[in-house]
Amino acid sequence: MGTNAHEQETIQSPLVWHPQSAADAWQLKQNFGADAVYAAGGTLLRTQWESGLAKMPAHLIDVSRINGQEEPIREHESGMTIDAATSLAACRSDALIARKLPLLAEAVKQIAAPSVRQLATLGGNVSSLVGDSLPALLVYDAQLHLFGGAGEHWEELSDWLAATEQALLSSQPASRLLIGITIPMPEGTTDSHAVAPAQEELVSKTKRFGAYYKVGRREAFTPSVVAAAVVGSINSSGVLEHMKLAVGGGQTIPRRLKELEAAFAGSELHAATLQRIYDGVLDVYEPRGDLFASADYRKSTAANLIVTELWKSAAEAVTGGW
């Protein structure tokens, strides 16, 4: 009788593969197809298995060792790269991220709980399509380093999210493997949402701002209801420039609100403008509501947070305080 039980257990426990390169991982996935799932920390997968949202696969492809780089978080000429398999805990305690990508640092700090962050990876958070790091990465214009059938390539996170959402809707999920995330930084800038230095000189009184917000149903270890990030600059006349807005939260795939970014570029940030931005967020952001937080609440929360950040920044830029 024990034999049968053993067999059963074998069936239930996936075989775990440990490829040493993206190409090997990719090949394994090609071999096993739908019977295999890429996994790094496995924290999200476990909740899906437990709740019955997904079946435990026959094969797990461990992608935590596919990138042989010594420094999982590194700075280079064109920006910063974070390996997909970098744990959230490592991101959270990394000095470079804290200095150069403060919104990402803030976002990661608010994801799950310490024990989960120890295992969960930034790549997994991105690949989930609804991770709370995404709004921060979106306003940083993050690019994804992917491995697919045709080899390695780079893709804008924003485009990738939109394309993946479309693919999901048409039930044709693309199976590309995420290797790393790169934040472009123009040479010489001190952080990612800075304008180029030449420009900065011209607008020396320009106030740059950036904020990340997560609102959940409690203060910690909670799924987000709204996760939003905003960066930009305001000059001393109160004119808004270079605004980038990204909103998500819960089961809503985050996106940049580029229509608003364009519409309000160069606008003077007085109350009427803020009202129009507020209305704009309600208009263009389409979150998914659930039992605990309606779509309307998610919209108004996102709108409130964004316009308040702008109002605060404008007040600081123009009068030095609010």
Partner 1 sequence: MLLNREGSGSRWRIRPDGPSKVTGQLSYLTDMTAEGMLYGLVLRSEHPHARILSIDTDAAKQASGVRAVLTYLDVPGLNAFGIAHPDQPVLCEDRVRYVGDAVATVAAETLEEAEYALMLIKVEYEPLPVLDDAEAALAPEAVKLHEKGNLLHHAGYSKGDLAEGFAGCVHVVEETYYTPRQMHTYMETEGGLFVPGEDGRLTVYAPTQHGFMDRMQLSRILDLPQQQIRIVSSPIGGSFGGKDELNVQPYGALLALRTGLPVKFHNSRWESVRAGLKRHPMKITMKTGTNAEGKLIAHQVRIIADTGPYSTLGAEVLNFAVEHVIGPYVYEHLDINGYSAFTNNGMSGEFRGFGGNQAIFALEGQLDRLAELHGMDSWSFRKLNMRRTGDTGPFNQPIAQTDGAEQVWSVVAGSELWKEKDKEQTSNQPPWIKTGVGAAFVMHGAGLGVGIPDPAGGRLQLAKDGKIEAVFGYEEFGQGLIASLELMLIEQFGFAASDLRIVIGDTDIVPDSGSTTASRATAMMWKSLERMRVPFEEAIIARATVAAGLAVDQLQLGEGGVRRKGSEELIISYEQLAQLEGEPVKSETSFHFPTSSVDRIGAHFMYTYSAVAVKIELNTLTGRVNVLKQLHAVAAGPVVNPQGFLGQIEGGSSMALGFTLTEDAVMDKGYYMTRNLDTYLVPTIADQRGDVEVVAIEQLPEGDTYGPRGIGEVGSVTLAPAIASAIRAASGKWVTKLPVQPSFLQEQPAFLQKAVD
Give contact residues for partner 1 (rule: CB under 8 A): 1-2, 4-5, 8-9, 12, 47, 50-51, 215, 217-223, 226, 270-272, 274-275, 278, 291-294, 296-297, 300-301, 304-305, 307-308, 311-312, 322
Report in angstroms how near the CB of residue 239 gets to partner 1 at its nearest: 18
Extract the tokens encoding 268. Answer: 């003077």
Report in angstroms how near the CB of residue 96 gets to partner 1 at its nearest: 26
Report in angstroms how near the CB of residue 297 gets to partner 1 at its nearest: 4
Complex with partner 1: residue 8 or 31, whichever CB lies closer: 8
> In 3D, which of 278, 285, 211, 274 has the Cα closest to residue 248?
285
Task: Say if residue 321 is exposed, middle or buried (CB neighbours under 10 Å; 0-12, 13-18, 19+).
Answer: exposed
**What Rg, from alpha-carbon coordinates, does the chain have?**
21
Q: Please, which residues bridge with residue 244 across strands?
A: 231
Report in angstroms how near the CB of residue 208 gets to partner 1 at its nearest: 20
Report in angstroms how near the CB of residue 274 gets to partner 1 at its nearest: 6
Complex with partner 1: residue 79 or 232, whichever CB lies closer: 232
Complex with partner 1: residue 180 or 250, whichever CB lies closer: 250
Complex with partner 1: residue 91 or 277, whichever CB lies closer: 277
Contact between residue 247 and residue 156 where contact means Cβ atoms under 8 Å apart:
no
Separation of alpha carbons 99 and 283, rounded Å? 34
Report in angstroms how near the CB of residue 230 gets to partner 1 at its nearest: 13
Report in angstroms how near the CB of residue 47 gets to partner 1 at its nearest: 6
Report in angstroms how near the CB of residue 320 gets to partner 1 at its nearest: 16
Complex with partner 1: residue 148 or 289, whichever CB lies closer: 289
Complex with partner 1: residue 8 or 166, whichever CB lies closer: 8
Complex with partner 1: residue 215 or 260, whichever CB lies closer: 215
Complex with partner 1: residue 160 or 264, whichever CB lies closer: 264
Contact between residue 144 and residue 112 where contact means Cβ atoms under 8 Å apart:
no
